[in-house]
A and B are shown apart, each in its own frame.
Chain A
Amino acid sequence: MAVIDSSSSAAKKFGSITLAALALPGVCITPANADTPPEAAVVSFKVQGYNDWQPGLDRIKVTAPALYAMAPFAGVWSIETSLVQDSVSGASPRWHSSISSASNMQDRRTAADVKVSRYFDRATVGLRASTSTEDDYRSNAIALEARMSSADNNTTWMIGAGLTRDTINPTNELVVNEKKRVTDVMIGVTQAWTKNDLVQLNLSHVRGRGYFSDPYKLVDKRPRERDQTIALLRWNHFHEASETTFRTSYRYYSDTFGIRAHTLQTEWVKPLGDRFTITPSARYYTQRAANFYFDPIYDPVIGEPFPVGKPKFSSADTRLSSFGAITLGAKLDWRIDSRWSADVKYERYEQRSGWRLGGNGSPGIATFRAQIWQVGVTRTF
C-alpha cells in the first residue's frame, strides 16, 4: 500500500490555485495563532559576530557560536535547549570621544537555557530556566509563560512572569558579591484582524533591585532600584500580490532612571523564487538621557569630565545618554531541501547624539557604529 506524506507539502510554496483558494471567504481558519506541538526535531548551529567602533578606535569584538536544539516528545510536549559562548575582546567601552588610549579587555561568557513546553488544545504553557556565566558576572533566571487562544483562533492571550538573580564580582574588586534581583511580568494579546493582518500588543513591567552600577567606570553610581515599563505594538501584514509580509512595530520604554525611549521597526519578508527569502529591515531608536547622566565634556580647568557638585547618583555611560540610532540590515534564508536550511544576516548600527528625536542629544560623544553578522545552518529531523 502506497503512503504519501501529506505533511511534507506544508513546507512547500503553493501555486496560484492553492493560494487563491486559501483567500476564499470562510475556507481557511483565519491565521491560526494557536500553537500546535512541533512535529519534527530541529538542530541549528549559528555563529554571530559583533564588532563596534568609534572614529579612530576599534572597540569590542565578539564572536559567539550558538547551538540550538528542539525536540517534540510524547505528542504534546517539546523541549528546547540552547548553548552560546561569547568571546569578547578589545578595548573597554570608551564612553566619550576624547580619551586617547583604551585598556584592553578579554572576557568569555557562556550561557545556556532550557525550555519545556506543554501543548493543550488551545493553550501552551512553557517553563524556561537559563544561566549565564562570565568571570565577573553570573546570572540565573527562570520564566513561566502561558498562551491561550480563543475558540475561533482569532485571538491569543499571553501571560508571563520571570525572575532573574545576578551576582557581580568585578575583577577590580570595587564591589564583592553584589546582587541584582529582577522580576518581570508580561501580558499580551494577539488579534487576527483580517486574513492578512495580525496585530499584537504586549505590556511588561520589570522591577529590579540591587547593583546597577558599572564597576569599571569612574564615578558611576546608579540607584539600586530600576523599574521599567514597556509597551510593544506590532502589526504584521501579508501583501498577497507581492507575497511579502510586512512586519512593523513600535516600542515604548520608560524606566525610573528617567530614560524614555521609542523604537520604530519595520521588516519585509519577501520570497525570492522557491528556495530563498530575503528580509530587509530598518530600525530607528531614540532615547532621553537618564536623570543622573552627566555629559563627558572635558573642563579646561578640572580636566577629566566629572559630575557637577556631589550628586547622589551619576554616570557617564553613553547607554544612559540622549541619542538616536539607526539599524539597517538584511537576512537571507535559503531552504536547501526539506531537511536543511541556511541563513546569513548582516546589520549595521549607527548611534549619534544628533539623531535624537524631540530634543538635543547629549554632547561630546563620538558617533558609535557597530556591525552584526550571523551565519547559520539548520537541520530538521
Chain B
Amino acid sequence: MATLNTSTTQPALSFDPIAHLWRATFAAMACQCELLLVVDDEATAHAAATSAIDEVRRIEHKYSRYRPESIVSQINQNAGQSDAIAVDDETAQLLNFADQLFTASDGLFDITSGVLRRAWDFKSHRLPDAHLLAETVALIGWDRVDWNGARIALPTPDMEIDFGGFGKEYAADRAATRLAEMGIANALVNLGGDVRALGNRSAGADFEPWQLGIRHPRLSDATLASIPLANTALATSGDYERFIEIGGQRYCHILNPKTGWPVQHWQSVSVVSPVCIAAGALATIAMLKGETALSFLREEGVAFLAVDAEGRVASSER
C-alpha cells in the first residue's frame, strides 16, 4: 500500500491489490468522498485523481453559498435590487436545469426553498415557530424569479437560491468526465453517496459492474439492496440524513416548499440514471411527490428502489 500525500489538496491514494484499483479519499462538499480507479500505475491514478478532485473543488468553490464571492452569494446579495446579475454559461445552464426541474416537478423542486433553514433547526429539538415558517414559505417561489437565460434577479430581499439540490451530484458527473478525459475507462466517483460509475470494476481477468449497496433507512449499518452500476449513476435521498424526532414523529430535512413541512411518505428513494445530477434530482422529487412518486419515476424511465414509511420496498422491477 502506497500513500502519497494526505494533505487536503492532494488525494490520499492507496492501492487495493484485491480489487485491483487505486482508491483516493478526500473531503469535499461537507462529505467524505472517494474515487476508485481501475488503472495499473500510481502516476496515472495520481494525475487522474488530482484532476477530478480539482474539478469537485472548483464547483464547490463556485457555487458555495458560504463564500461571499461565489456566484450564488452574489445573486443572493443582490436580492430585491432592480438590476439583474449576469451569469456565466455554466451557471446559466444549471439555472435552466433548475427551471426544468421546477416545471417537471410541479414546483416541488425549488432552488429558492433553502430559506426554510431559517425556520427549521435540525440541531435543536424544537419544531419551527409557525409564524416564522409562514414567513419563509412566502419567500419561496422560483416562478417569481426574474431569469431570462442570461441574467437573474431575485424579486424580494431575503429571497435566496442555492444549488444544494444538485451541486454535489453535478460535481460527481463532472469529476467522472474529467477521469474519462484522462483516458480512464473504469472508475467510480462517490461524493458522499452520490455515485457515478465509469465502465466496470475489474474482477480477475474480467470486468463486472460496480456493486453499490443501498443503506437501510432505519438500520445505519445494514444494506437494503445491492445495485450493479456500469456507466450509470446512483443517488439516494432519505429521511435519515438530518432529522428531529418529536413525540415519535420524524421530521426530516427534505421539506415541501409549498408547506414548509417535511415529507412523510418515503423513508428513502434511490434512483439509477445515466448521470448523477438526474438521479439526485429524481430521488429528491420522488421524496417530495409522496404517493405519486413511483409513476413519476416510471415515466422518467429510470430504475429505482423506494422504501415507504412502513419500511416496504418498491422497485422498478415489478
Footprint of B on A, CB under 8 Å?
A: 1-10, 12-18, 20-29, 34, 36, 74-76, 121-122, 151-153
Interface of B is mostly: mixed
Taking a contact as CB atoms under 8 Å apart, the answer to whether A5 and B303 are in contact is yes
Q: Does B28 contact A (CB under 8 A)?
A: no
User: Which residue of chain B has its CB nearest to the CB of A3?
Assistant: B226
**Provided the pairs A2-B225, A17-B281, A21-B278 are in contact, do residues A75 and B104 lie with their beta carbons within 8 angstroms?**
no
Residues of the B chain whose Cβ atoms lie less than 8 Å from the Cβ of A34:
185
User: Which residue of chain B has its CB nearest to the CB of A14?
Assistant: B301
Residues of the A chain whose Cβ atoms lie less than 8 Å from the Cβ of B316:
4, 8-9
Footprint of A on B, CB under 8 Å?
A: 89-90, 93-94, 96-97, 100-101, 104, 170, 173-174, 176-177, 180-183, 185, 198, 205-207, 209, 223-232, 234, 272-275, 277-278, 281-282, 285, 299-305, 313, 315-317
Taking a contact as CB atoms under 8 Å apart, the answer to whether A25 and B185 are in contact is no
Q: With both chains docked as a complex, state the minimum distance between the C-beta of B234 and any C-beta of chain A, in angstroms.
A: 8
17 contacts between A and B (CB under 8 A): A4-B225, A4-B304, A6-B230, A8-B316, A12-B301, A15-B104, A15-B302, A16-B100, A17-B104, A20-B278, A21-B97, A21-B274, A26-B177, A27-B275, A28-B173, A28-B274, A121-B185
Interface of A is mostly: loop
**Provided the pairs A2-B313, A5-B317 are in contact, do residues A24 and B277 lie with their beta carbons within 8 angstroms?**
yes
Q: Which of B174, B177, B183, B278 contacts A17 (CB 8 A)?
A: B278
Taking a contact as CB atoms under 8 Å apart, the answer to whether B183 and A151 are in contact is yes
Taking a contact as CB atoms under 8 Å apart, the answer to whether A152 and B228 are in contact is no
Taking a contact as CB atoms under 8 Å apart, the answer to whether A18 and B274 are in contact is yes
Q: Which of A18, A24, A76 contacts B300 (CB 8 A)?
A: A18
Taking a contact as CB atoms under 8 Å apart, the answer to whether B278 and A22 are in contact is yes
Residues of the A chain whose Cβ atoms lie less than 8 Å from the Cβ of B185:
34, 121-122
Instruction: Specify which of B89, B198, B226 lies most central, judged by the most chain A CB atoms within 10 Å of its CB.
Output: B226
Residues of the B chain whose Cβ atoms lie less than 8 Å from the Cβ of A151:
180-183
Taking a contact as CB atoms under 8 Å apart, the answer to whether A4 and B206 are in contact is no
**Provided the pairs A2-B313, A20-B100 are in contact, do residues A9 and B232 lie with their beta carbons within 8 angstroms?**
yes
Q: Which of A6, A13, A18 contacts B229 (CB 8 A)?
A: A6
Taking a contact as CB atoms under 8 Å apart, the answer to whether A21 and B225 are in contact is no
User: Which residue of chain A has its CB nearest to the CB of B270?
Assistant: A4
Residues of the B chain whose Cβ atoms lie less than 8 Å from the Cβ of A2:
224-226, 305, 313, 315
User: Which residue of chain A has its CB nearest to the CB of B207?
Assistant: A75
Residues of the B chain whose Cβ atoms lie less than 8 Å from the Cβ of A152:
180-181, 183
User: Which residue of chain A has its CB nearest to the CB of B183?
Assistant: A151
Taking a contact as CB atoms under 8 Å apart, the answer to whether A14 and B274 are in contact is yes
Report how far A21 CA is from B170 CA in the complex, Å. 9
Taking a contact as CB atoms under 8 Å apart, the answer to whether A4 and B301 are in contact is no
Taking a contact as CB atoms under 8 Å apart, the answer to whether B301 and A9 are in contact is yes
Taking a contact as CB atoms under 8 Å apart, the answer to whether A4 and B272 are in contact is yes
Q: Which of B277, B300, B303 contacts A6 (CB 8 A)?
A: B303
Report how far A98 CA is from B285 CA in the complex, Å. 73
Q: With both chains docked as a complex, state the minimum distance between the C-beta of B147 and any C-beta of chain A, in angstroms.
A: 15
Query: Shortest 10 CB-CB distances between A and B: which pairs?
Result: A15-B300, A21-B278, A151-B183, A12-B301, A6-B272, A2-B225, A27-B173, A75-B206, A18-B278, A9-B303
User: Which residue of chain A has its CB nearest to the CB of B313?
Assistant: A2
Residues of the A chain whose Cβ atoms lie less than 8 Å from the Cβ of B180:
29, 151-153
Q: With both chains docked as a complex, state the minimum distance between the C-beta of B241 and any C-beta of chain A, in angstroms.
A: 21
Report how far A68 CA is from B185 CA in the complex, Å. 30
Report how far A122 CA is from B198 CA in the complex, Å. 13
Taking a contact as CB atoms under 8 Å apart, the answer to whether B303 and A4 are in contact is yes
Taking a contact as CB atoms under 8 Å apart, the answer to whether B90 and A29 are in contact is no
User: Which residue of chain A has its CB nearest to the CB of B232?
Assistant: A6
Taking a contact as CB atoms under 8 Å apart, the answer to whether B100 and A17 are in contact is yes
Taking a contact as CB atoms under 8 Å apart, the answer to whether A29 and B177 are in contact is yes
User: Which residue of chain A has its CB nearest to the CB of B38?
Assistant: A121
**Provided the pairs A18-B278, A26-B173 are in contact, do residues A4 and B227 lie with their beta carbons within 8 angstroms?**
yes
Residues of the A chain whose Cβ atoms lie less than 8 Å from the Cβ of B174:
26-27
Report how far A18 CA is from B169 CA in the complex, Å. 13
